Structure 1
Amino acid sequence: MLTPAGRILAFRLLVLVAGLLPAFWLAWQWWHGDLGVVPEEAVVHITGRTGLILLLTTIAFSPAFRLTGWVGIMIARRQIGLWAFAWLLAHLLAWMGLEQYWDWPWIWHDMRDLPYVRYGVAALLLLVPLALTSFRRAQQAMGHTAWHWLHRLVYVAAALGVTHVWILTRADYRLPSLAAAALAALVLFRLLDAAIHRR
């Protein structure tokens, strides 16, 4: 029987595995040539999907804590949020390196002229201050209220990410539809929870 501290440690290890496992799977697929005809494109898509799923999971940790009251969820939230940021940063770097070949004039051209690229880059830029202030010392330095308001940008970043995926989708809309529905449900829960606490 695990102690409360042991359960929290086990949950954090589970989050660590969730963050690392896709990287091992991707490396294995690349090594064995199982990423399809255009493996570079597959890497870009997989890193992006993984990052978006982890970002939505980060948002879902708050209602999960509200419903269960288990502190381990909130302790691991920063960890899963940093994994989401890491995967989305890997997505951007893979796009710039594997698809654009670090051709900066062409990269700037796409960022300027393609809406889905602008949405994706904007989402990642919004996550930068959240990643930099995700540590306890930053929260203490900023104050809880300012820190709390800043980290609400995660909802805007997630909405931009879902829009990015939606525009890119050409046939199978299951992933963007599920992501949009999940985000809408999480925002609705947050609004209802805030209204109940105000009352």
Structure 2
Amino acid sequence: MASGKNQNVLLFRLVVLGCGLGPAIILLVKWLFGDMGANPPEYVVHFTGLTGLTLLLATIAFSPAFRLSRWVGFMIARRQMGLWAFFWLVMHMLSWMGLDQYWDWPWIYQEMLELEYVRYGAGALLLLIPLALTSFSRAPAVLGWSAWHWLHRLVYVSAALGVTHFWILTRADYLLPGTFALVFAGLASFRILDGMIHRQ
């Protein structure tokens, strides 16, 4: 029985690995076949951002999934998914700086000052840095469980900033950013209600 559970966890971790590596394969194939539209740099920037935000919300969703199913695989793979989300959001920022802004640091600084959505996106990524740095298994023991737990609640703030970034950036069709906003609202509401129930 235990062996079967371990196999299920391993398979799930492989699925998460596929979620992290799969977008890179898709991006490579699209580049090789010239299937990135009229503006490939813009496509890469948007693709990496959408991938990172999707994986970030998936990371948050692992906690309610565990609460509802009590399957430990969600919690075991949560760090792995979170690090993939961080990786893709870093790629999003780097591709924006390099492919869109051509590493023009004065211009990048000016864009951050003038464009609200850039500030939201940068803030979302900055909040994830301490989470990534404290994602190793000994971190809770080093920081103390309470401090580590409160620190990692920043993922909700980061996701909120990321969704806001996506919403402001959108010009016409709000279906996708609206879907992201609804998913985040549902996850945040679950977290609040679950916290209230367990404090009683």
TM-score if structure 1 supplies the norm length? Answer: 0.98
Match of 1:12 in 2: 13
Shift, 1:112, TM fit: 1.1
Deviations 1:38-84 (A, max 9, x none): 00000000000000000000000000000000001100000000000
Shift, 1:182, TM fit: 0.6
Deviations 1:138-187 (A, max 9, x none): 11101111000000000000000000000010111111101110111111
Following the alignment from structure 1 to structure 2, what is the Cα–Cα distance between the partners of residues 78 and 140? 16
1:135 maps onto 2:136 in alignment:
yes
1:53 maps onto 2:48 in alignment:
no
SS of the residue corresponding to residue 136 of structure 1 reads coil
What RMSD, in angstroms, separates the aligned Cα atoms of the two structures? 1.0
Shift, 1:20, TM fit: 0.4
Match of 1:160 in 2: 161
Following the alignment from structure 1 to structure 2, what is the Cα–Cα distance between the partners of residues 50 and 172? 18
Following the alignment from structure 1 to structure 2, what is the Cα–Cα distance between the partners of residues 132 and 156? 17
Equivalent AA in structure 2 for residue 117 of structure 1: V
1:1-199 alignment runs, 5 A limit: 3-199=4-200
Following the alignment from structure 1 to structure 2, what is the Cα–Cα distance between the partners of residues 65 and 139? 19
> Structure 1: 5+ residue runs without aligned partners?
none
Following the alignment from structure 1 to structure 2, what is the Cα–Cα distance between the partners of residues 138 and 191? 24
Equivalent AA in structure 2 for residue 118 of structure 1: R
Moved over 3 A (4+): none
> Structure 2: 5+ residue runs without aligned partners?
none
Equivalent AA in structure 2 for residue 23 of structure 1: A
**Paired residues, what number?**
199
Following the alignment from structure 2 to structure 1, what is the Cα–Cα distance between the partners of residues 157 and 192? 14
Equivalent AA in structure 2 for residue 94 of structure 1: S
Equivalent AA in structure 2 for residue 191 of structure 1: I
SS of the residue corresponding to residue 138 of structure 2 reads helix
Following the alignment from structure 2 to structure 1, what is the Cα–Cα distance between the partners of residues 67 and 130? 25
Equivalent AA in structure 2 for residue 178 of structure 1: T
Shift, 1:121, TM fit: 0.3
